[in-house]
Amino acid sequence: MMENQSIINYKDVLLKTAYYKDIAIKEMAKYGQPITNENINERLKNIDRYLAIFTHTTRKPEKKFDAQLFTKEMSEIHQDLQFLYELLYDLAIEEFVDIKSFAECHLREVERKTREYKARVDIETNSSFIGRTIFYADGPFPWFTNDHYMFTDLGEVQIKPGSKVAFLASGHNLSNKNIMIGLSIGNEVTYIQPYNYQHDTFTTNGSSMVNSYEVNINKEVLLKNTFELTPEKMEVNSKHSYITYSGRNKILTTQDKERQHVSQNDNYSFFVTGSWEVSFYIKGGTYAKFEFSKVVANKNFDGIEIRDLNKVQKIRMKDEADFGFSVKTDGEIYAEQKMCYVQDDKLIHVGGSLSNDFLIEEFTSTEPKMYHAFLRVFSDTEEYPRIDSIAIKELIESDVIMNDLL
């Protein structure tokens, strides 16, 4: 503002100088005096151009009205007002330009933040089922090159012992072959390719402790919306992770937006009517052997038997016609699995539930370890991949989540 005031004062002097200079030239021309810069400056040197052109004088009431003097003074007042309006206009324009530049600068920052948040929302939306985000960064990244490799330092990342982590990236011209994230601790460095549905995760040393709780809610209660699911004697901890299983000895059938839990019949079999997608979880088993009433068109395993099951194995199958099946396993069958979150020291189950029986598993671990993270990008062409954003996800008991993708 002080800078604008100085500029306005300077313009005010320039306007009055031009005004007095014009008067001086007219007077010199009227009286036949030489019009030179020296003569003009001589006339202007005693005029205070920081003052208004009109100067107030006091007149006695009985003094005779001087019309010529009145006209001259009104002209001076008019000239002062004209200069004032010009200066105010210039000041308004300058203020507008300043505000416009300020707004544009902040709008660019808002746009940058918007792109950053959109990139994060996109990567979170597409990977929220995988686990908890423990690191996120967006470009542009500061790169340095070495042969066909580009590197950028990402800083420190805290990861819990016994956890699996997955690396996700968004950008242009990316592939699992040309981009990796490096995680180093001490003298050990582990490289992870971007997460895909089959592999590319890293398990840290250590293990998580698991506490299990069973909760049964009155069957009369309809669980259509998000609800509290805190077992008695459980001390909920926001630093722990919680997974729930619902619908024991049931399967989930899905068609468009319609969902149902189907129980075993008296022969320990499940029967599906129509074109429904079937899914369920086998928890804590080592094998699963199936018998089908017909050949099922689509399923996420080969043959009729699965050996060496994951800790939690998700089964999926679908056919266009009715079919039935039974499964023999040494594990437990649940229709659904979900991750819960902690709010106000309470365990919150997101969304409704078709069953009222729950198994809750609480995963605890020791203090996280500090890893140093960096990106390594390879290209044997002139075009390097463009990385817009990256994220590292921590997968507690990730077999539950990852098999949800198969």
Beta strands per DSSP E along 77-200: 132-138, 144-146, 149-159, 164-172, 179-185, 188-192
Beta strands per DSSP E along 10-163: 132-138, 144-146, 149-159
- Residue 405 scores a pLDDT above 70: no
- Distance from C-alpha of 230 to C-alpha of 360, rounded to nearest angstrom: 9
pLDDT at residue number 263: 92
- Distance from C-alpha of 16 to C-alpha of 48, rounded to nearest angstrom: 9
- Residue 119 scores a pLDDT above 70: no
- Distance from C-alpha of 232 to C-alpha of 174, rounded to nearest angstrom: 48
Gyration radius of the chain's alpha carbons:
40
pLDDT digits (tens, 9 = 90+) for 241-279: 888 999 999 999 998 788 999 998 888 899 988 888 999
- Distance from C-alpha of 345 to C-alpha of 353, rounded to nearest angstrom: 21
pLDDT at residue number 11: 73
pLDDT digits (tens, 9 = 90+) for 1-42: 445 545 445 777 777 777 778 877 887 787 777 888 777 777
Q: Is cis: bond before 231, omega within 30 of 0?
A: no
- Distance from C-alpha of 50 to C-alpha of 10, rounded to nearest angstrom: 9
CB–CB of 316/299 below 8 Å? Answer: yes
pTM of the model: 0.54
Q: Which residue has better confidence, 328 or 367?
A: 328
- Distance from C-alpha of 18 to C-alpha of 365, rounded to nearest angstrom: 82
198's tokens: 């089959």
Name the strands in the sheet holding 323-329, side by side, starting at the edge strand that comes first in the sequence.
269-272, 323-329, 287-292, 305-307
- Distance from C-alpha of 129 to C-alpha of 208, rounded to nearest angstrom: 20
Domain ranges of the chain: 2-57+64-103, 132-197+367-396, 209-364
Please name which of 397, 403, 313 lies closest in space to residue 132, comparing C-alpha atoms: 397
Please name which of 212, 224, 208, 200 lies closest in space to residue 130, comparing C-alpha atoms: 200
Cα angle 155, 147, 174 (rounded to 5 degrees) comes to 65
384's tokens: 């390097």
Please name which of 146, 355, 166, 142 lies closest in space to residue 248, comparing C-alpha atoms: 355
Q: Which residue has better confidence, 322 or 266?
A: 322
Whole-angstrom CA distances from 212 to 208, 242, 243, 257, 353 are 13, 10, 10, 31, 19
Q: Given pLDDT bands bounded at 50, 70 and 90, which one contains residue 289?
A: very high
225's tokens: 């919306």
Q: How many residues does the chain have?
A: 406
Specify which residues 362 forms β-bridges with.
211, 242
- Distance from C-alpha of 284 to C-alpha of 331, rounded to nearest angstrom: 5
Q: Give the lowest-confidence range in 29-33, 70-74, 222-226, 398-402.
A: 398-402
Q: What is the largest CA-CA distance in the chain?
A: 127
Average pLDDT, the chain: 80
Q: Give the lowest-confidence range in 112-121, 258-267, 333-342, 383-392.
A: 112-121
Q: Given pLDDT bands bounded at 50, 70 and 90, which one contains residue 90?
A: confident
CB–CB of 349/226 below 8 Å? Answer: yes
